[in-house]
Structure 1
Amino acid sequence: AAFAGRFRQSKFKHVFGKGAKREFCYDNIRVTKSSWDSTFCAVNPKYIAIITDAAGGGAFMVLAHDQYGRVERDPPLVAGHKAAVLDVQWCPHDDEFIASASEDCTAKVWRILPESFSDGNLTESYRDLVAHNRRVGLVVWHPSAYMVLLTAGADNKVLIWNVEEEEVMKEIEFPDNVLSCSFNWVGSMFVCSCKDKVTRVVNARTGEFVAEEKLHEGTKPQQVLFLRDGRVFSTGFSRMSERQWGLWNGSTLEPIDKQELDNSNGVLFPFYDPDVNLLYLVGKGDSVIRYFEVTEDAPYVHFLNVFQSSEPQRGMGWMPKRGLDVSSCEISRLYKLHQKGLCEPISFTVPRKSELFQDDLYPDTCAESYALTAEEWLQGKDAEPVLSPVRPDAASAADIAAAKAKKRVPEKRPKKSAASAAADKGDRADVPANHLLANSNSSDSTAAATVAADPADTSALESRVADLEATVQNLTSLVESMRDSMAQLTSECEQLRATRVG
């Protein structure tokens, strides 16, 4: 039976991880020295957020993905909290919004725009969520309802917010401090681990405890998450302080499987890919990342491989599938925070010879849109997250479909002011509205004059050409990296053969 499990068929058994070159990392970051058990980093397709040390209050840094290299000595920060920031999470339905939790007893939601840091630090939040009596250590977004946020505080309370209204929709009391929390796939329930070593499955609307169980005997913090199929995965410690992971029934918390991992003492943070059921276990202070595949059949959790590095990790961020490079068969990307202030992207790739899009690796993934409003969710409606194709040429079709369901997609930018609209109209007053239709057979010189009358089109084309050139350069560097990896693997294989012959 052991050999049958070892040689099972899986398209992910050859997944390998590779850290980015130094010139594509982010350096000189003053990562927070807080002892709070958090990942200290959050990533979406637009930005990287990292909790930093800040004198006289709490702050975190936001970097665009193309801001490689050394960060300036005093970079602009998101600095509205009065005490240390403990957790940050990007909104899954709008890449501009991020929630933060702090020791100042508040949670805040911020809107990050390209011009947000033009005048220095960002200190004005989008919404202030004030209701906890003690520090707030955890923020978790609802998977399918727009602007619904869960916060957990040291006052032993979990609050579920309508962020737009700054209103608490549900307050749930717990016997002890909540340390970890995760919604199920439709957001009707959540599972949480508490300081009293008991894990609870909770009805998110009524606050009823559906199940309570002690999953791990150790006193150190546990981490829990709901899998897409409704099962619960946990990490924790045995009575002898050995690190463990466990798989449990999501309705009753009855055990399905539990295994010991090692004797290290760092908290294990699980990162889960619901599209392909892969799990990545990251231990704080470790220098390895273990990854597993979860299936419905025994032995349920299959070890795939280990990414080994020389530097221990202080924190870790997870890129959503929408931000990956599918042209190189990248299936996940983690952002590792080093102890010395470096943020290193680590790409996990399935080796494939074909350069075509690999449909079997990329099922539909969560889109940047929502299925429910906060009011609909509170009234009892449940819905799975909105999914969209990962295939690059399918993005336009997904955008059209999202545009048709107007209420499902939040407004991205404020409308132009009347003065701006009038100025735009004046700029084009000398070009008739039916110019292009009436002159479909005009000469090349007339066409050139039309382009000149609207320089925005020319600018857009030039920008597009520049983006394509940058993409080609990135692809070239990726191919070179793959060649280096293949050469290294070939060398290692030859060494192994020589060792066995000897």
Structure 2
Amino acid sequence: MAWRFAASKFKNTTPKLPKKENGEEDVVGQMMYVDDQHDDGNSHLRHVAGGQNLENSDVDDKETHVVTCKLKIHTDTIFDLPVGNLSCTNDGIHASADFLAFHIEGEGGKLGVLPIGAKGRRTRNDIWIIAAHGEQVSDFGFMTYADQLLATCSRDEPVKIWKLSRDSSPQLATEVNVGAGVVTECLKAHSTADNLLAVGSHNSAYITDISTKRVAIELTGITDKVQAMGWSEDGRLLAVSGDKGRQIVVYDPRANTVPIQTLEGHGGMGREARVLFAGNRLISTGFTTKRIQEVRAYDTGKWGSPIHTQEFVSTTGVLIPHYDPDTKLVFLSGKGTNKLFMLELQDRQPYLSHVFELTLPEQTLGATVGSKRRVHVMDGEVDTYYQLTKNSIVPTPCIVPRRSYRDFHADLFPETRGSEPGCSASEWLSGTNAAPPKTSLAPSSSASPPPPEPMPPQQAAVAPPRPMSISSNNVPNGKDHHVPAPRKEEVRELDYGVYEKENGAVRSTAKTPSAETNSTQGNTSPLTTNSPDPITVVSAVGAPKATSPPVTGSASTSSVSTPLTVGPAYGEKPKEAPVNFRKPIGASNRVPLSQRVRPKSCVVGQITSKFRHVDGQQGTKSGHVFSNLRNVNTRLPPESNGVCCSNKYAAVPLAGLGVVGIYDVDAPGKLPDGVMDGIFNKATVTDLQWNPFDESQLAVGTDCGQINLWRFSESDGPRNEMEPEKQIKICGEKITSLRWHPLAANLMAVALSNSTIELWDVSEGKLYSRFVQHQSGILGIAWSADGRRIASVGKDATLFVHEPATAEQKVYERKSVVESTRAARVLFACDDRIVIVVGMTKSSQRQVQMYDATTVDLRHIYTQVIDSATQPLVPHYDYDSNVLFLSGKGDRFVNMFEVIYDSPYLLPLAPFMSPVGSQGIAFHHKIKCNVMAVEFQVCWRLSDKNLEQIVFRVPRIKKDVFQDDLFPDALVTWEPVTTAARWMSGQESAPVFRSLKPDGVFSSIPRPIAASVRHSEMPTSSAATTPSSSATPSTEKQTSSTPSHPTPIARNMQSCAVESAHTPDRQQVAAAWSTKIDLDTRLEQDQMEGVDETEWNQ
């Protein structure tokens, strides 16, 4: 029987990062207190839940007090820990069902201990400290079936067993002396037997019985020191990684003291390596010869070569693996990086299937996975991942999404290994293979509750709110009607309303949510905002119900950051409005968005992108690949993107002085052997760009200050004999970047090594403009989509936005935008309202920063760390879908985000993964995409030996209709709008937008369809003609003399009346579908056989 696809229950497992605030979160809400005048003459304030309808209550005739306050919500993160910078070669942190043990800073081998339920701030005085050894702790770990026993080892001391308790300090339980002169490097508790511990040393390993304090078995045949060990699930086999990860040996300790299998490990000589059993697979992590993280999987039923090999990131930190046998999930977290990879172990290819990739807020120093007996099953939590950073422990629950968590999902939580061992150490050594009993995770089972937190320093209890000063007016007596609070299950999504900024103060036109409602909301944005100012208590005596003005379509403001909700000012009369449980899609809290439809949606309170399930199809599957590629130039300057392509050709820099290979993208295949053919520029190539309006013209910049223009055709002979069509001598300085103008033909911006940017008409060889703003070299330049501005970032860590076509040559500046000046890129996004800077930190973290292009000070909006690597990220932005592609040299991944002009600013999409690293990526124009196959980008990815095509598409079922929600009118980047002379003279030309819908194809959503229409010629609605605040940069101190930016591009949709004649109605759509279906007009009774006429007479 053929294999059928069966979806895994855990394929959608998603880790949820806890709140990042330091111990508490400021939540602004409303609490209403009613002053009840009792018979005893005393006033009593009773709390009425904010946000409830009080029209029919007795609150109307009493004196009410609206109090705006801040709630404190404790976080799940443990912070302010004295961890510091670790230099250990172990996992750094371990967890049992009761305790967490982790490395801390200080002389000697010290460990910190906390219970599983610990949260919030924990300083050195708030944790238990184990002074385990005099030197650095080599390894440590909990005993499998004794949650209170912690084993530690060091190089020159015996193995020690510590007993932990919630009521007293850790005590030394016992010591096991492995042998005189034995240097212990690592240890691992047995998986099925109690009191059995494997200890690794140099060239040997030992099986010790801690109950008898002796060595039971000594294993030999290991090369160099032992770096990691792992027991099989049945406890019969022991795997040992030695020789810096290049050797893996497998023992059956009770059968023989020599290895039963010796496997070839990783090729690199890493400082660390890991090995563990995962079902009937053996997983090993190490490094390749190129210092790239590598994972190998072996079949325990058929030892030999690995059945699966996968490379990850080029870094010096090893991948720490963990495995959950119940869900078959594999967790991989790299030391020194901020990435968590979740994979699923399968019985078929790919044996390790991608599940999730999580970007953590800080670098990982250690990682572990908690006990299954402590997961919150009623929340769908299948595992808890603990990350150790330099000052915190971040518990990350891994949730399987389900429609409801009211009932226990037994399919997600099978019976798991309990707290009782299968056998004792002596029984196992005598040959017993009894499996440990399993226990159910159902809430009705008799599982022990988690231990309470340790006794923290005594803190004063939170006092109830004090009575407020009230008026002396008499208030009628009334009964104390308590309004019930909302149920805990009700999760509300607040109406953010429309926010305006007046006189430097933020004002909300929407009703302020209640304090209790706010307590259930989580801020999904990773942006860290400043805490609000202290809120003053305002007593409104006898105030009427809250009123609010009608919500307008837009609001004028100078900020796009996440707004703070504040209560109504004193004296206002806001009316009560119903709470909107859904935030409008695409609505901005600050500046109104473009009128084109944004492909994002709100799912369960979180804004997600319609491109989130993007699928990248490699050319190896469709034959679109240039193979046998050789001598690729891997030493290009960091300012260059390397490979580039037009709709007809691809250019690849090759090794040699100025050699560039040219390949026809419509004729892929295997390249012939021999010397690689290519053009010669007679100088080192620094950058190269195809003319966007001439797919046969290539501009090549060199380090001698010269631009070579090449033209190609299908009739060209050997390209090594060709000469440039034209040569332009810029100056004697090195050319760092070339960028063609997006609208004007033959206009090019050239960045030079002497901090100069020049504008050239390459057809005439004429210099139009030169401007110098940077104090040192330029790292990257980029044009805005409307061609009015050009942004640049330099080694002086300064961002400049120039307007070269204006008479006053306006320049806007922002300092200190990058931390590391080794490399950076810049581009415009979101209809030219955002400037994105992609750079690196001094700790090699690659990050994306967003700045507001509508303000004169280029105000910082948001920063997100992508990952950690040695090579910079090269961005590409798709103007139509707002998707940002990020990939670096040597990366196997292409990270994608949808950029939005509102929090959370970057919506993550499914990353693209390739088995080999990349040398560069080049994208085609949008017209190259097959929109009927739901392709929204096509690119070419260069590796050491191949140049393959990658098609990015969105999975859709109905591909016979045009997907309007994914393909708005596309920005025409392949045809010029004006000339260089007209543009430099100040004649502005608007960009052109064109529909990609093929003729004769119906749309999935009725929408205006027009031919190439310019923005200035398109019919505008009333909303489009209204001046937008985004047209002019705004600041709090701006005056009329302050320079302003040009109006950003906006797609204006044509009116329905104009387009009604062009839009097919329902009858036309039904008729079109009917032509594809054979109509059967026969009736069912026509096929029935009746009786003979003579029979009716009988």
1:360 is aligned to 2:411? yes
1:374 is aligned to 2:425? yes
Which residue, out of 143, 162, 178, partners 1:131? 178
CA distance in 2 between partners of 1:151 and 1:160 (Å): 6
Give the CA deviation at 1:477: 11
Give the CA deviation at 1:49: 0.8
Which residue, out of 161, 166, 169, partners 2:213? 166
Q: Is the 8 A contact 1:28 1:71 kept in 2?
A: yes
Give the CA deviation at 1:200: 0.5
CA distance in 2 between partners of 1:68 and 1:145 (Å): 33
Give the partner amino acid of 1:90.
F
Aligned to 1:302, what secondary structure does the other structure show? strand
Give the CA deviation at 1:490: 4.3
Q: Taking structure 1 as reference, are residues 32 and 147 closer, same or farther at Cα in structure 2, changes over 3 Å only?
A: farther
CA distance in 1 between partners of 2:359 and 2:140 (Å): 27
Give the partner amino acid of 2:252.
N
Q: Taking structure 1 as reference, are residues 65 and 102 closer, same or farther at Cα in structure 2, changes over 3 Å only?
A: same
Question: Partner residue of 2:199?
Answer: 151
CA distance in 2 between partners of 1:71 and 1:289 (Å): 25
Aligned length: 415
Which residue, out of 442, 453, 459, partners 1:391? 442
1:236 is aligned to 2:286? yes
CA distance in 2 between partners of 1:481 and 1:138 (Å): 44
Q: Taking structure 1 as reference, are residues 270 and 287 closer, same or farther at Cα in structure 2, changes over 3 Å only?
A: same
Give the CA deviation at 1:34: 4.0
Question: Partner residue of 1:405?
Answer: none
CA distance in 1 between partners of 2:380 and 2:368 (Å): 20
Aligned to 2:147, what secondary structure does the other structure show? coil
Give the CA deviation at 1:487: 5.9
Q: Taking structure 1 as reference, are residues 477 and 336 closer, same or farther at Cα in structure 2, changes over 3 Å only?
A: farther
**How much is the aligned-residue C-alpha RMSD, in angstroms?**
2.9
Q: Taking structure 1 as reference, are residues 76 and 242 closer, same or farther at Cα in structure 2, changes over 3 Å only?
A: closer
Q: Superposition pairs for residues 75-94 of structure 1, below 5 Å?
A: 75-94=127-146
Give the partner amino acid of 1:179.
Q
Q: Taking structure 1 as reference, are residues 253 and 321 closer, same or farther at Cα in structure 2, changes over 3 Å only?
A: farther
Give the CA deviation at 1:244: 1.6
CA deviations on 1:436-469 (whole Å, 9 max, x unpaired) are: xxxxxxxxxxxxxxxxxxxxxxxxxxxxxxxxxx
Aligned to 2:311, what secondary structure does the other structure show? strand
CA distance in 1 between partners of 2:440 and 2:253 (Å): 29
Q: Superposition pairs for residues 281-360 of structure 1, below 5 Å?
A: 281-339=332-390, 341-354=391-404, 355-360=406-411
CA distance in 2 between partners of 1:66 and 1:228 (Å): 30
Worse-matched range after superposition: 210-219 or 62-71: 62-71
Question: Partner residue of 1:18?
Answer: 16
Which residue, out of 98, 111, 120, partners 1:46? 98
Q: Taking structure 1 as reference, are residues 282 and 338 closer, same or farther at Cα in structure 2, changes over 3 Å only?
A: same
Q: Taking structure 1 as reference, are residues 34 and 359 closer, same or farther at Cα in structure 2, changes over 3 Å only?
A: same
Give the partner amino acid of 2:121.
R
CA deviations on 1:145-177 (whole Å, 9 max, x unpaired) are: 111011112x33311111111111111233320
Q: Is the 8 A contact 2:145 2:194 kept in 1?
A: yes
Give the CA deviation at 1:137: 2.4
Aligned to 1:96, what secondary structure does the other structure show? strand
CA distance in 2 between partners of 1:482 and 1:327 (Å): 19
Unaligned 5+ runs, structure 1: 400-471
Aligned to 1:356, what secondary structure does the other structure show? coil
Give the CA deviation at 1:501: 4.0
Question: Partner residue of 1:492?
Answer: 608
Q: Is the 8 A contact 2:177 2:214 kept in 1?
A: no
CA distance in 2 between partners of 1:34 and 1:309 (Å): 18
Q: Taking structure 1 as reference, are residues 134 and 33 closer, same or farther at Cα in structure 2, changes over 3 Å only?
A: farther
CA distance in 2 between partners of 1:211 and 1:91 (Å): 27
Question: Partner residue of 1:37?
Answer: 89
- Kindly indicate whether structure 1 or structure 2 has the higher relative contact order, using CA contacts under 8 Å at least 6 residues apart: 1
Aligned to 1:377, what secondary structure does the other structure show? helix
Worse-matched range after superposition: 100-109 or 310-319: 100-109
CA distance in 1 between partners of 2:446 and 2:186 (Å): 33
Q: Is the 8 A contact 1:81 1:104 kept in 2?
A: no
Give the CA deviation at 1:491: 2.2
CA distance in 1 between partners of 2:115 and 2:7 (Å): 39
Q: Taking structure 1 as reference, are residues 177 and 28 closer, same or farther at Cα in structure 2, changes over 3 Å only?
A: same
CA distance in 2 between partners of 1:169 and 1:481 (Å): 56
CA deviations on 1:336-392 (whole Å, 9 max, x unpaired) are: 1113x1111111101111221111111111101111111111111112232111112
Q: Is the 8 A contact 2:10 2:327 kept in 1?
A: no
Relative to its length, the structure with more helix (as a share) is 1
Q: Is the 8 A contact 2:139 2:185 kept in 1?
A: yes
Q: Taking structure 1 as reference, are residues 13 and 202 closer, same or farther at Cα in structure 2, changes over 3 Å only?
A: same
CA distance in 2 between partners of 1:201 and 1:185 (Å): 14
Question: Once the two structures are aligned, what percentage of the paired residues are identical?
Answer: 24
Unaligned 5+ runs, structure 2: 21-74, 450-487, 492-515, 526-601, 613-879, 883-965, 969-1098
Give the partner amino acid of 1:203.
D
Q: Is the 8 A contact 2:15 2:399 kept in 1?
A: yes
CA distance in 2 between partners of 1:487 and 1:346 (Å): 21
CA deviations on 1:477-500 (whole Å, 9 max, x unpaired) are: 999468969768742337979744
Which residue, out of 188, 211, 216, partners 1:140? 188
CA distance in 2 between partners of 1:82 and 1:166 (Å): 21
Give the partner amino acid of 2:158.
T
Question: Partner residue of 1:97?
Answer: 149
Give the CA deviation at 1:262: 2.9
1:204 is aligned to 2:253? yes
Give the partner amino acid of 2:250.
V
CA distance in 1 between partners of 2:212 and 2:521 (Å): 49
CA distance in 2 between partners of 1:481 and 1:41 (Å): 31
Give the partner amino acid of 2:235.
G
Aligned to 1:255, what secondary structure does the other structure show? coil
Q: Is the 8 A contact 2:95 2:101 kept in 1?
A: yes
Worse-matched range after superposition: 27-36 or 140-149: 27-36
Question: Partner residue of 1:218?
Answer: 268
Q: Is the 8 A contact 1:186 1:385 kept in 2?
A: no
CA distance in 2 between partners of 1:65 and 1:311 (Å): 21
Q: Is the 8 A contact 2:226 2:242 kept in 1?
A: yes
**Max radius of gyration: which structure?**
2
Aligned to 1:136, what secondary structure does the other structure show? coil
Which residue, out of 327, 332, 336, partners 1:276? 327
Question: Partner residue of 2:816?
Answer: none
User: Normalising by the residue count of structure 1, what TM-score does the alignment of the two structures yield?
Assistant: 0.76
CA distance in 1 between partners of 2:273 and 2:517 (Å): 40
Q: Is the 8 A contact 2:297 2:308 kept in 1?
A: yes
CA distance in 2 between partners of 1:495 and 1:116 (Å): 54
CA distance in 1 between partners of 2:304 and 2:605 (Å): 43
Question: Partner residue of 1:256?
Answer: 307
Give the CA deviation at 1:31: 1.9
CA distance in 2 between partners of 1:272 and 1:293 (Å): 9
Give the partner amino acid of 2:329.
L
Give the partner amino acid of 1:15.
T
User: Normalising by the residue count of structure 2, what TM-score does the alignment of the two structures yield?
Assistant: 0.36
Aligned to 1:170, what secondary structure does the other structure show? strand
Q: Taking structure 1 as reference, are residues 170 and 295 closer, same or farther at Cα in structure 2, changes over 3 Å only?
A: same
Give the CA deviation at 1:76: 3.4
